[in-house]
Amino acid sequence: MSEMLDRLLQEKIVAIFRGIEDKDADRSAQALIDGGITMMEITLNTEGATVMINRWREKFGGRAAIGAGTVLDLDMAKEAAAAGAQFLISPNLDESVVAYGRERGISVWPGVTTPTEIVRAWKAGADAVKLFPLGTLGWKYLAEIRAPLNHIPMIATGGVNLDNIADYFQAGACAVGMGGKLVDLEWIRNGQFQLLTERARKFSDAVKKL
């Protein structure tokens, strides 16, 4: 098992930073770390993403795992790796990204929806997959998919909140990816970092009970 997958299975939550401004990034990451969430994904469609990934590796490297999200193709994977990303997450499956990650010891968790895509990703060498978009499909879809494919670790992304997070894990998720329900950009813009910490602690406490 890869070190990052091992960490994912222990921590169970990946915080997704999309569209955050550079000036607010460090305080936001610190707020989540203070609340007990230490796996951070910065999506590459965020302006200055690679600069932030690189800086967070230096600043938070001992306390947090820093990865890149929305890694759509090989060029983006190379860009993320050069910035120091420790894991790569995509909304899609590109086998060349999986192969690149395996060559360099970087965990790749590609985005999949159907059983065919899940098995393709697994055969390509992904050590986990991101089941997406579950905001529409929900945890019941995850439970159905897991029945025949329970040997493949699945990260549930989309639709997870405090009320249903236990349902996703009971349905078989190994972890969840959380964006706006956790990384609230309005709070960040308003400088309400203590609210981020409080929210992070609630989610962190919720998964510890599972």
Residue 61 clears pLDDT 90, i.e. is over it: no
Residue 62: CB partners within 8 Å, gap ≥ 6?
Answer: none
- Condensed to tens digits (0 to 9), the pLDDT of residues 82-127 reads 999 999 999 999 999 999 999 999 999 999 999 999 999 999 999 9
Catalytic-residue membership of 202: no
Residue 204 clears pLDDT 80, i.e. is over it: yes
Contact 80, 100 (CB under 8 A): no
Token pair belonging to 59:
């600043």
* Domains identified in the chain and CATH numbers: 3-208 (3.20.20.70)
Tokens 């995850």 -> residue: 142
Active-site residue, from 12, 23, 79, 130: 130
Beta strand 129-131 with 65-69 is unpaired
Residue 130 clears pLDDT 90, i.e. is over it: yes
Would you place residue 1 in the very low, low, confident or very high pLDDT band (cuts 50, 70, 90)?
low
Residue 114: CB partners within 8 Å, gap ≥ 6?
Answer: none
Residue 41 clears pLDDT 90, i.e. is over it: yes
Catalytic-residue membership of 186: no
Active-site residue, from 23, 41, 95, 140: 41
Tokens 């078989």 -> residue: 172
